[in-house]
Amino acid sequence: MSDDLLVIKYNLLPWYNELDDRIDVEQVDFPTAIRERIQALGEYNLKTVTRKETQLEKIKER
């Protein structure tokens, strides 16, 4: 698996913000371990979000 793609096997839909197309990791009830993984990834594009899995793709720096 690539370092540019983060696959999380967890339902993140409760924290999905459709307007911004982002996962709201700053909410108090957001799982800490997953928050740390997403923050370590840096800027990302949301590829997919379902109740079983979320895929985040790192934005490549130019």
Task: Say what the pTM is.
Answer: 0.86
Alpha-carbon distances, residue 10 vs 13, 34, 42, 58 (angstroms)? 9, 9, 19, 18
Closest CA to 23 of 62, 49, 4: 49
Q: Would you state the pLDDT for residue 17?
A: 94
56, 46 in Cβ contact below 8 A? yes
Judged against a pLDDT cut of 90, whether residue 2 lies above it is answered with no
Q: Would you state the pLDDT for residue 1?
A: 52
Span 13-30, pLDDT tens digits: 999 999 999 999 999 999
Span 39-54, pLDDT tens digits: 999 999 999 999 999 9
